Structure 1
């Protein structure tokens, strides 16, 4: 929201310390959106104003991508934090995304999922080790591949594709990814939390999105933004925006399925600053408590928490050190 100058100051500082350029899209107060501007395909009650405002704010960002004909854009919530190594993380994510969304070298229509469907080494999930990525066609439009709609890389929960769904099952497993905290520091709303329960410490996985929760950060291609205007902006406003994005990706609630990739754990998380808890949210009552210590979940070398160290050129602080590992 424009009134949250504290958040804009924080985002500009983080972006500057990370050598990243950002622009702001104003948040929307749902009370200002009339009923006639909220699409309904069947009769039902209007959602809470907070949900309406969030949906409209995201749709304004999507509309701007289409209007300006941007090849892609990364949309961030305004309280987000990331790791000092974010560019390295995104580079590795790009390689993994190409493996899943880009045609294999020498082919126009053969992708990793279909190519490995009969490979006995990957009988269930077609999990490709990061160090053994397949060769794909050279990318033309984006370092993340030429055939994606959404990259859901900041969330508070994500599932691996379920066996009974049509969501592609391919994945890239990056072991010894030391930007990821020890498993005991990981959390998410989705159950089971397979990444925490079934993989070794310091593992990240890129896969097709299933049951995403929260939209801390997601990238949209131009083609994906056009599709979202049709399927989300002008379709039934029946659920909160993160659920609508889930339906968009998976092809649920009458929407077509789209090409959406996710990163577990997410690369962007909400920062919780020192101060009154009520400052955490503009749409939910967080009470009258006070937080004595700032933190960001699951981000080891937080840009926000290391701002002084980055500016002064001193040693960075790891929020989640492996003190129990010799």
Structure 2
């Protein structure tokens, strides 16, 4: 992680991992408790410790990553594109600050309300400049690394709370072709609904895996209350999903996401037993390292980056026509 971050000009601090056995029963909030398993309990405590640091230091915003994360060589460009897209969804229109490009923001008129059309990345509307964050004002969580996500639609639990707008970027060449797109979600609305090299920014819905996410100070405080003090209803990522979906018995929270995610699991060569402390992946060997959904993976391009080269290994080259 240190080398990957250094080669990407990213500075970060480590938060020590926690073994579930170290978490005392008396500090657990009410709810399922140890039934989620010791590995999940340790993960929950580790994430909570990171969120506590954000609150203690009174940070305006922070990015939290799990230690098996990988990202594309072009991460800075991708984050800038994300900022432009998220502002289009949550900032008032410059032409009329009483309105938004997403007509369903901040709360849809009904669960079935849908914007008339997608917001095209190549024709983003002019919006009021944000006061607090380049990504816009008023967001709680940017869920940037996940195993699967879907667009919020009618029929989902608490769908009436989640804005339905989406920014669509076509021909983002850092996105693999759909047949190489990995997701554990049973709903493949991005893969099936759009063409090659499409990246989408929308409000988060039905997410899984907490590989990487950014929080604002207000969002961190809300997460600390919801996931640290309110009843425990599952593993950390399940409660993060409930926090964003509004299904944890609380009001709506302002969570946005990007698909494919900008941060992905890195699967190193060697024994699969080392891939996760939470889920068993067996003891077979992986002959070749890989990182899901990343074309120019930082961790698979160490040699090129260290040598100052720009001819990068592409995990998912386009299919020859």
8 A contact 2:273–2:284 mirrored in 1: yes
Alignment pair present for 1:35 and 2:25? yes
Once the 2 structures are TM-superposed, how far is the Cα of residue 32 of structure 1 from its aligned partner?
A: 1.2
Once the 2 structures are TM-superposed, how far is the Cα of residue 44 of structure 1 from its aligned partner?
A: 7.5
Cα distance change on mapping 1:38 and 1:115 into 2, 3 Å: closer
| Structure 2 counterparts to residues 149-164 of structure 1, below 5 A | 149-164=140-155
Residue in structure 2 matching 1:134, options 110, 125, 131: 125
Residue in structure 1 matching 2:79, options 67, 82, 90: 90
5+ residue gaps in structure 2?
Answer: none
* Alignment coverage as a number of residue pairs: 311
Once the 2 structures are TM-superposed, how far is the Cα of residue 245 of structure 1 from its aligned partner?
A: 0.6
Cα distance in 2 for partners of 1:323, 1:308 equals 25
Alignment pair present for 1:143 and 2:129? no
Q: Once structures 1 and 2 are overlaid, which stretch shifts more, 295-304 or 99-108?
A: 99-108
Residue in structure 1 matching 2:7, options 17, 20, 24: 17
Once the 2 structures are TM-superposed, how far is the Cα of residue 323 of structure 1 from its aligned partner?
A: 3.6
Superposed CA deviations along residues 213-232 of structure 1, whole A, max 9, x for unmatched, are 10111000011001111111
Cα distance in 1 for partners of 2:6, 2:115 equals 43
Residue in structure 1 matching 2:192, options 167, 188, 197: 197
- Normalising by structure 1, we get a TM-score of 0.91
Residue in structure 2 matching 1:215, options 201, 210, 214: 210
Cα distance in 2 for partners of 1:43, 1:160 equals 29
5+ residue gaps in structure 1?
Answer: 1-10
Cα distance in 1 for partners of 2:104, 2:45 equals 40
Residue in structure 1 matching 2:39, options 39, 43, 50: 50
| Structure 2 counterparts to residues 182-261 of structure 1, below 5 A | 182-261=177-256
Once the 2 structures are TM-superposed, how far is the Cα of residue 110 of structure 1 from its aligned partner?
A: 2.7
Once the 2 structures are TM-superposed, how far is the Cα of residue 285 of structure 1 from its aligned partner?
A: 2.7
- Normalising by structure 2, we get a TM-score of 0.92
Once the 2 structures are TM-superposed, how far is the Cα of residue 126 of structure 1 from its aligned partner?
A: 3.9
RMSD: 1.9
Which residue of 1 is the match for residue 70 of structure 2? 81
